Chain A
Amino acid sequence: MTIEPHMPKLALGPVLYYWPKETLLDFYERIAASPVDIVYLGETICSKRRALNTEEWLALAERLSVAGKEVVLSTMALLEAESELKTLRRLCENGRFTVEANDMGAVRLLSARGASFVLGTGINVYNDRTLRFLAGLGAKRWVMPVELSAETLAAMQAERPTGMETEIFVYGRLPLAYSARCFTARHHDLPKDDCRFRCLDYPEGLTVSTREGQAFLALNGIQTQSAQTCNLLLELEELRELKVDVLRVSPQTERTEAVIAAFAACLRGDRDPLEAAREINATLPHGACDGYWQGLAGLRQVEEV
């Protein structure tokens, strides 16, 4: 008798950038045909971005659901205005799709409805007690905060509540911070209230470098991301040993489908992770990073590729 190796599912995180409607729809049409199991949909960064309205996101969710994907509706990370709470309520009450909470306001609305939900990267779950408390309110999956290490994950997995699924951010520019200020508008000397949607010009954000030319951050409206792309393809063995249920790939403009295909092939054992990581990392604009996973500064790259 052979024991089947633990097989995590593949998820595609929400698009964090402001892509035009056509670009988004084309992208998700291709995703419908990709080997990804779970698709997170929705605007999580800025409520002024309206490539798709709520109705259109829900229609897209149906479309992807028909294509066999598990669809999760992602909600905003920084909620300030009443209009944003209104959209949040609408999503939490959709009655059809699971919702990813990225703010405690969403957790409140979802648990009050008795819905099961996902805890996104915007929710600070740093220990098993917090996770157990939120499980009691209906959380069925959590995405580990990106700054936590494999060592902390192991401690969390040893204590995780029954039925709780663990998702790890394995690929993409890391979400690092949110602000009241729009850094993209600021770069153009525009007020936030009259930003002229300049985020549309930066489909992967605006790179920030030191005066020595070392790129390290990317500005994405009110969000700050890493310039380096997190890539944990070489950690697949450890992710499996730790019984991680879901691997999240965060959409980038190029390569997303190739990255999904690479993770899927490596999980099946059809491709060598080292060779695949080498190919992917060679295409990254500012290199790869795995420091957080190793318990170090996030921008470090420890694994030799």
Chain B
Amino acid sequence: MPTVSTPSKPLELVCPAGNLPSLKTAVDHGADSVYIGFRDDTNARHFPGLNFDAKTAAQGVHYAHARGRRVFVALNTFPQPSGWERWRRAVDQAADLGVDAVIAADISVLDYAHRRHSDLPLHLSVQGSATNYEAIRFYHEHFGIRRVVLPRVLSLPQVRHVRENSPVDLEVFGFGGLCIMVEGRCLLSSYVTGESPNMCGVCSPAKAVRWEETPQGLETRLGGLLIDRHAPGEPAGYPTLCKGRFTVADQTYYAIEEPTSLNTLTLLPELQDMGIAAIKIEGRQRSPAYVTQITKVWRAAIDACRRSPTAYAPKPEWLRELGKVSEGHQTTLGAYHRTWQ
């Protein structure tokens, strides 16, 4: 067991907000920071009806700042040549709003923000795929990033090793939908639908989804491909490409990943001990009710862990609450736990 000591800086809780009500409830229930996106393909949750326009973004920043909390803006997709103006405007807009950081992945976006707005703190998005400290040093040396969000592929000892060698703070995912692939390097969605997180800010987009009742059960399709078939009474989740049941050498199973959510509540003392700066909660696409629920639980957990890391244990009611909002109603430690890999 690692030795557990009280860290100098408390773990920061970073919560998602897809709209103003979510941002407010995150702030009201104890988020230290909230991350948002604008209403276009400059961010990796470019979903219809989601995200902030100039007015709601300004209201959100004002609401959070008035209560001593911070707002980050995700500009974490990869502009193609014809789209550059949109990303440039988004960076300028974030700077004008006085946000506390821009979370970016593409070199052109980082470079522009760094040169044009030298006071605007930059975080390297998980979409930047920095899994090792040499990559982190690259972004630090060239763009002065202050923080990196780690892809969900490292085991706990690997996270600790990166922490010990990283020139900047680390933010890790604590809870939510689980990308099994290295973020920023997954093209599965565009292979089947033509649209990917990198190019369009979407994964398995809703417009490519079809639900069909058939004599064999409820079928879910993505870009015409059968992703899953559910027996009567079996819960049917959203057909995210990597979470379907497929056939490999005559076996039909979740060949890539089960529908499940990441939950690291039990790992908090270790994450705190190794000096992780922030815990990120996934889910800008989720409802204000989800944001309320997860913010409450994680605020309580982080505070309990800080008060007494050795006595800390996740409360059953926390796990119950998180279980309710988890994909497939199940959770995993993901790559943090080596056996999962």
CB contact between B134 and one of A109, A128, A180 (< 8 Å): that residue: A109
Q: Which residues of B contact A182 (CB under 8 A)?
A: 341
Asked if B191 and A176 sit within 8 Å, CB to CB, the answer is yes
B1-9, B93-101, B151-159: which lies at the interface: B151-159
Give which listed residue, B153, B223, B245, contacts A180 with CB less than 8 A.
B153
Contact B247 A211 (CB under 8 A): yes
* Bitwise interface map of B from 98 to 134 toward A, beta carbon under 8 Å scored 1, else 0: 0000000111100110000000000000001111111
Residues of B within 8 A of A264 (CB): none
Known: A80-B158, A82-B161, A181-B340. A155 touches B188 (CB 8 A): no
Among candidates A85, A145, A224, residue contacting B256 with C-beta atoms closer than 8 Å? A224
Residue of A187, A192, A214 near B255 (CB, 8 A) is: A187
- Tell whether A129 pairs with B80 under 8 Å between CB atoms, given A109-B134, A177-B185, A181-B340: no
With A214-B225, A214-B226 already in contact, the answer to whether A80 and B247 are too (CB < 8 A) is no
Tell me the B4-23 residues at the A interface (CB within 8 Å).
Answer: none
Is B81 a contact partner of A159 (Cβ separation < 8 A)? yes
Q: Which residue of A lies closest to B225 (CB)?
A: A210
State whether the Cβ of A219 lies closer than 8 Å to any Cβ in chain B.
yes
In the complex, per-residue mask of B137-164: 1 if CB is within 8 Å of any chain A CB, else 0: 1110110000000001111001001000
Taking CB atoms and an 8 Å cut-off, the chain A residues in 196-219 that contact chain B are: 206-214, 216-217, 219
Q: Which residues of B contact A291 (CB under 8 A)?
A: 194
Complex CA distance for A36 and B84, rounded to whole angstroms: 37
Q: Is B259 an interface residue (CB 8 A)?
A: no
| A103/B188 contact (C-beta < 8 A), A179-B180, A214-B225 known | no
- Of residues 256 through 281 on chain B, the ones whose CB sits less than 8 Å from some CB of chain A are 256-257
Question: B84, B138, B185: which contacts A107 (Cβ < 8 A)?
Answer: B138
The stretch that binds B, out of A3-11, A37-45, A271-279, A293-301, is A293-301
Question: Residue among B107, B153, B198, B252 with the most chain A CB within 10 A?
Answer: B107
Q: Taking the nearest CB of chain B, how far is it from the CB of A230, in angstroms?
A: 10
Interface centre among A82, A180, A206, A292 (most CB of B within 10 A): A180
List B contacts of A212 (CB < 8 A): 226
Task: Count residues of chain B with CB under 8 A from any CB of chain A.
Answer: 68
Docked complex Cα distance between A268 and B137 (Å): 45
Interface string of A118-134 (1 = CB under 8 A from B): 00001010111110011
B52 CB-CB contact with A under 8 Å:
no
Q: How far is the CB of B167 from chain A (nearest CB, A)?
A: 12
> Does A127 lie within 8 Å of B80, measured CB to CB?
yes
- A71 CB within 8 Å of chain B: no
- Check if A156 sits within 8 Å of B81, measured CB to CB: yes
Is there an interface contact between A206 and B248, defined as CB atoms closer than 8 Å?
yes
Distance of A174 Cα from B187 Cα, bound (Å): 10
- Which residues in A have their C-beta under 8 angstroms from that of B246? 208-211, 217
B89 on interface, CB distance cutoff 8 Å: no
A156→B338 CA distance, assembly (Å): 41
Question: A91 at the A/B interface (Cβ < 8 Å)?
Answer: no
Residue of A nearest to B247 (CB): A209
Which of A15-23, A146-154, A242-250 lies on the face that meets chain B?
A: A146-154
CA distance A146 to B185 in the complex (A): 11
B229 interface hit (Cβ, 8 Å) = yes
Considering only residues 166-200 of chain A, those with a C-beta below 8 Å from chain B are 174, 176-183, 186-187, 191-193
Cβ–Cβ < 8 Å partners of A152 in chain B: 80-82
- Chain B residue nearest to A76 (CB atoms) is B132
Contact of B131 among A78, A174, A219, A292 (CB under 8 A): A78
Give bound CA distance, A48 to B204, whole Å.
Answer: 32
Taking the complex as formed, is B78 at the interface, i.e. its CB lies under 8 A from any CB of chain A? yes
Could you say which of B112, B135, B245, B340 contacts A211, with CB atoms under 8 Å apart? B245
Q: B residues within 8 A CB of A296?
A: 194
Cα distance, A226 to B188, chains bound together (Å): 9
Contacts of B338 in A (CB 8 A): 191-193
A213 and B250 CA atoms in complex are apart in Å by 10
The answer to whether B132 and A80 touch across the interface, beta carbons within 8 angstroms, is: yes
A298 touching B187 in the complex, CB below 8 Å, given contacts A210-B227, A210-B247, A212-B226: yes
A206 contacts which chain B residues (CB < 8 A)?
248-249
Q: How far is the CB of A182 from chain B (nearest CB, A)?
A: 7
Complex CA–CA separation, A161 to B312 (angstroms): 56
Given contacts A104-B139, A187-B255, A291-B194, contact A180 B106 (CB under 8 A): no
Which residues of B sit under 8 angstroms from A127, Cβ to Cβ? 78-81, 84, 106, 108
Asked if A77 is at the interface (CB within 8 A of a chain B CB), the reply is yes
Evaluate whether A129 and B84 lie within 8 angstroms (CB atoms) in the complex, with A82-B161, A211-B229, A297-B190 already known. Answer: yes
**Bound-state Cα–Cα, A159 to B128, Å:** 24
Report the minimal beta-carbon distance from B180 to chain A, rounded to whole angstroms. Answer: 5
A88 to B322, CA, bound (A): 40
Is the C-beta of A108 less than 8 angstroms from some C-beta in chain B? Answer: yes
Whole-angstrom distance between the Cβ of A194 and the nearest chain B Cβ? 10
* 5 CB-based A-B contacts, threshold 8 Å: A104-B134, A108-B137, A192-B341, A207-B248, A297-B191
Instruction: Report which A residues bind B (CB closer than 8 A).
Output: 77-82, 84-85, 88, 103-109, 122, 124, 126-130, 133-134, 145-148, 152, 155-156, 159, 174, 176-183, 186-187, 191-193, 206-214, 216-217, 219, 224, 226, 291-292, 295-299
Known: A159-B81, A177-B181, A187-B255. 15 other contacts (CB 8 A): A79-B134, A82-B161, A103-B129, A108-B138, A124-B185, A148-B199, A176-B187, A177-B182, A178-B181, A219-B248, A219-B255, A292-B191, A296-B194, A298-B187, A298-B194
